Amino acid sequence: MGMNEILKGKVKTLFETDNPEEVLIRYEDCVTAGNGQMIEYPKGKGTICCLMTAMLFEYLESNSIRTHFIDCPSLDTMRCKKLKIAPVEVICRNIAAGSIVKTTNITEGFLIQPPIVEFFLKDDSKNDPLLTPDRVRLMGIHTEPLIEKARNVNDLLQPLFLLCGIDLVDFKLEFGYDAHGDLFLADELSPDNMRLWSKDRTERFDKDLFRKGEGDIVEAYKVILTKLRQFV
Ligand code: 5GP
Q: Are residues 155 and 199 in the same domain?
A: yes
User: What is the position in ligand 1's atom list of the atom closest to the CA of 170?
Assistant: 10
Q: Are residues 93 and 168 in the same domain?
A: yes
Q: How far apart are CA 209 and CA 81, in angstroms?
A: 32
Give residue 25's pLDDT: 98
Is the CB of residue 208 below 6 angstroms from any atom belonging to ligand 1?
no
Tally of CB atoms within 10 A around 143: 19
Is the CB of residue 195 below 6 angstroms from any atom belonging to ligand 1?
yes
Is the CB of residue 32 below 6 angstroms from any atom belonging to ligand 1?
no
CA of residue 2 to ligand 1 center, whole Å = 32
Q: How far apart are CA 74 and CA 96, in angstroms?
A: 36
pLDDT 10s digits, 33-81? 998 899 999 999 999 999 999 999 999 999 999 999 999 999 999 999 9
* pTM for the predicted model, two decimal places: 0.96
82 Cβ contact list (under 8 Å, min separation 6):
20, 21, 22, 23, 178
Give residue 89's pLDDT: 98
Q: Are residues 173 and 193 in the same domain?
A: yes
Instruction: Answer whether residue 44 is part of any domain.
Output: yes
Pairing of strands 166-177, 111-121: unpaired
Q: How far apart are CA 166 and CA 20, in angstroms?
A: 39
DSSP states along 103-152: HSSPPTT-EEEEEEEEEEE--GGGT--EE-HHHHHHTT--HHHHHHHHHH
Instruction: Answer whether residue 222 is part of any domain.
Output: no
| Residue located nearest, by CA, to atom 11 of ligand 1 | 193
Q: Are residues 54 and 111 in the same domain?
A: no
CA of residue 170 to ligand 1 center, whole Å = 8
Instruction: Answer whether residue 54 is part of any domain.
Output: yes
Is the CB of residue 193 below 6 angstroms from any atom belonging to ligand 1?
yes
Helix (H/G/I), strand (E/B), else coil: 230: coil
* Side chain identity at residue 69, one-letter code: F
Domain that holds residue 16: 5-81
User: What is the position in ligand 1's atom list of the atom closest to the CA of 101?
Assistant: 3
Query: Which CATH number does the domain housing residue 181 bear?
Result: 3.30.470.20
Residue 158, CB-side half-sphere exposure with 13 Å CA sphere: 14
Question: What is the chain's pLDDT, residue by residue, as a tens digit (232 residues)?
Answer: 457 999 999 999 999 999 999 999 999 999 999 988 999 999 999 999 999 999 999 999 999 999 999 999 999 999 999 999 999 999 999 999 999 999 999 999 999 999 999 999 999 999 999 999 999 999 999 999 999 999 999 999 999 999 999 999 999 999 999 999 999 999 999 999 999 999 999 999 999 999 999 999 999 999 999 999 999 9
Query: Which CATH number does the domain housing residue 43 bear?
Result: 3.30.200.20
Q: Among 101, 110, 121, 172, which is best to mutate for testing ligand 1, by the most ligand atoms less than 8 A from CB?
A: 172
Give residue 36's pLDDT: 87
- Alpha-carbon radius of gyration of the chain: 17
Buried b (16+ CB within 10 A) or exposed e, 83-99: beebebbbbbbbbbbee
Number of domains into which the chain is organized: 2
